Structure 1
Amino acid sequence: MFVQLGLVLLLSRGLLGESDAFGGDTRIIGGFNAPKNLANYQVSIRKKYHNQEIHWCGGSIIHEEWVLTAAHCTYGMNANRLLIVVGTTEPKSGGDRYKIKKIIIHEKFSIRKLINDVALMKVDGKIKMNKNVRVIELWKEPVAAGSISILTGWGFTDNRGTMANKLQMLILTIISNKDCKEQLKRAFLAPVDDKQLCAIDQRKGGACLGDSGSPLVVTNGNKGLVQAGVRSSGTIPCAKGQPEVFSSVSSYYDWIMKNMKN
């Protein structure tokens, strides 16, 4: 809790942009090892592969029975092929494991355009809360351009497929959809719609494969961190100075609330 409150203060003052804020231990690509208990809402979605399981995507705990993630992380998959791990910053050890009972993908999701890229996963049973496992509040309001945000995940830490051995965090600045569209257009990438949110790392770090579905959080005044986005897409190769695209939580808040009743 104290770590989270400290980071909220730093975010509100715009002081987390420097690489030495956490001792210069840079890695997501160009991120930092996340402090323990910062992102206790973070989920590792695992995919069963032959006789093993691999980290597949990120997600967030939004209820004791529900995880929020990207639709493309679950598209075409049966619930019994996926499971989640919560309560650890290390992808290969620790934490609690839960099976998935049901997956709900947004009915207007497009795998080709990656729009309406949100999904809910209902766990089998209830997630046990403790100091390492907490629900993240969803933000119902649009996020202003210029806001500072945090993305966490276990995706590749370079463009050679190196997996993170600790949960990574990246400091991103929210940009307007107008600026985002212009930058993506110059890079010949698909435009964003009004239900998406864009953010960029001024130091040219970025998310990569394995970070999809992970939560983007901002500060909500004195209330702590709240989730504003779900990581949807970015460039390949990763971290080439282009905006990261997220499904905006405020745009899908009603959909999320409605479908958690199912």
Structure 2
Amino acid sequence: MARGRMLTVLGAAAAAVAVAVAATAAAAQDASEAVIADSSRDRPLPVPRGRRRTRIVGGRKITEFDRDAGSQFMATLYTPDGFGYYCGGALVSFEHVLTRAGCFTRVGDVVRVGGSRLFQGVKLKVIGVTVHPNFNSNGDQNDIAVLKVSGPSEAVMVRKGAVPVIMRQTLGRPHGFYITGYGAVDKKARTAGSLQLKRGYQPRNTWAECKEIFKFLKLANGQALPINEAAQLCTNYKSTGSGALCERDVGGPQFRTRWVSKNGKWVKVYELYGITSFWVATRSEKCPQGFPNVSSSVPYYYNWIRSAMK
């Protein structure tokens, strides 16, 4: 749990949570205490790269040959030495990467885009960071940031497989989203990370559903967890077969694919709907399947993102 932010469920609330998840695999977990979990720059991957072995919980390995991988716009964020991997991101132009504000990226950090293995892809340098002016780390409201990056020319990036994703301007009514990342695969997050990119699919939930859990969560100061239903997307609740966020997956893309006709040919396009922000964990399982995952809605922040990219 990053930055010591714990949201507790006590007394009668604990019983209500246990009932709410009784139909899921989470029923076997200790629901007497739930926490909001995420990752940030203060906890980069600590082990030598050759020992990283695990991925998104419940997802599957992908390669650059997987047509739905999204590896061409998947970004990885590192400390300036290029080895301290700490968050994900999404390439939204050849000069900009979108990530979560709570990753606390700094000028001088390293970004890599393209490829399907950690430490591979085009190397870029962060030369500017624009955090949403209303970002609040105590509850992760407005958890979104635009990174200005410098690196090879556009032609070189395309040749090396790095291509921006299309930002979605309207939400519509999607059933769910793909997520990709290099985070842990085990529910207790005992292993550090992954060399191989992994992808999962998360069904979208209504906030009425997710509030079965969120209504019982409290910040450390006793206040209710703030939720902006228009600005945040909730996924994964009661879906034990989907991919779940885990350590260092956050900040990464939440996307869908569709086919469009261009010059008489059908072309698959990738559209970015969200930037992953945090997930609900339990005392016994750091990265449980079936508990809510939350992201910042790209359509909601679209105008601010475009303004920050100028």
Query: Contact conserved, 1:31 with 1:171, CA < 8 A, in 2?
Result: yes
Is structure 2 residue 125 aligned with structure 1 residue 103? no
2:158 paired residue number = 129
| Aligned residue in 2 for 1:199 | 235
User: Cα offset for 1:182?
Assistant: 2.4
Q: Alpha-carbon deviation of 1:205?
A: 4.0
1:18 aligned partner: none
What's 2:199 paired with? Answer: 169
Change (3 A) 1:29 1:188: farther
Between the aligned partners of 2:191 and 2:84, the Cα distance in structure 1 is 13
Q: 1:58 to 1:27 in 2, by over 3 A?
A: closer
1:249 alignment counterpart? 298
Q: 1:43 aligns with which of 75, 84, 94?
A: 75
Q: Deviation at 1:29?
A: 0.6
The 1:143–1:188 alpha-carbon spacing in structure 2 relative to 1, beyond 3 Å, is farther
Q: Cα–Cα, structure 1 residues 241 and 187, in superposed 2: closer, same or farther, change >3 Å?
A: farther
* Aligned counterparts of 2:79 and 2:55: Cα–Cα separation in 1: 24
Q: Deviations over 1:2-48 (max 9, x none)?
A: xxxxxxxxxxxxxxxxxxxxxxxx95011101242521110011124
Q: Following superposition of structure 1 onto structure 2, how do residues 83-122 of structure 1 map, counting pairs within 5 Å?
A: 83-92=110-119, 94-122=120-148
Deviations 1:37-94 (A, max 9, x none): 521110011124xx662211000110010000000112xx5312x11011221114x3
**Pairwise CA distance, 1:207:** 0.6
User: How many residues are treated as equivalent by the alignment?
Assistant: 229
TM-score (norm 1): 0.80
**Structure 1: distance between partners of 2:258 and 2:211:** 26
Q: Contact conserved, 1:143 with 1:174, CA < 8 A, in 2?
A: no
1:242 aligned partner, one-letter code = F
Aligned to 2:309: 260
| Structure 1 counterpart of 2:272 | 227
CA distance in 1, matches of 2:257, 2:191: 32
**2:288 alignment counterpart:** 239
TM score, norm. by length of structure 2: 0.68
Q: Cα 1:36–1:78, aligned 2, differ >3 Å: closer, same or farther?
A: closer
Contact 1:181 1:192 in 2 (8 A): no
The alignment-based identity, stated in percent, is: 28
Q: Would you say the 8 A contact 1:139–1:226 is kept in 2?
A: yes
Q: C-alpha distance in 2, partners of 1:183/1:130?
A: 46
Give unpaired runs (5+ residues) of structure 1: 1-25
Residue 214 of structure 1, aligned match among 218, 237, 252: 252
Q: How far does residue 112 in structure 1 lie from its aligned partner after superposition? A: 0.8
Distance 1:220 1:52, change over 3 A: closer
Contact 2:200 2:242 in 1 (8 A): no
Matches within 5 A, 1:60-75: 60-74=90-104
- What is the CA–CA distance in structure 1 between the aligned matches of 2:150 and 2:213, rounded to whole Å? 42
Equivalent residues of 2:114, 2:121 under 8 A apart: yes
Q: Is the 8 A contact 1:108 1:116 kept in 2?
A: yes
After superposition, the CA RMSD in angstroms is 2.2
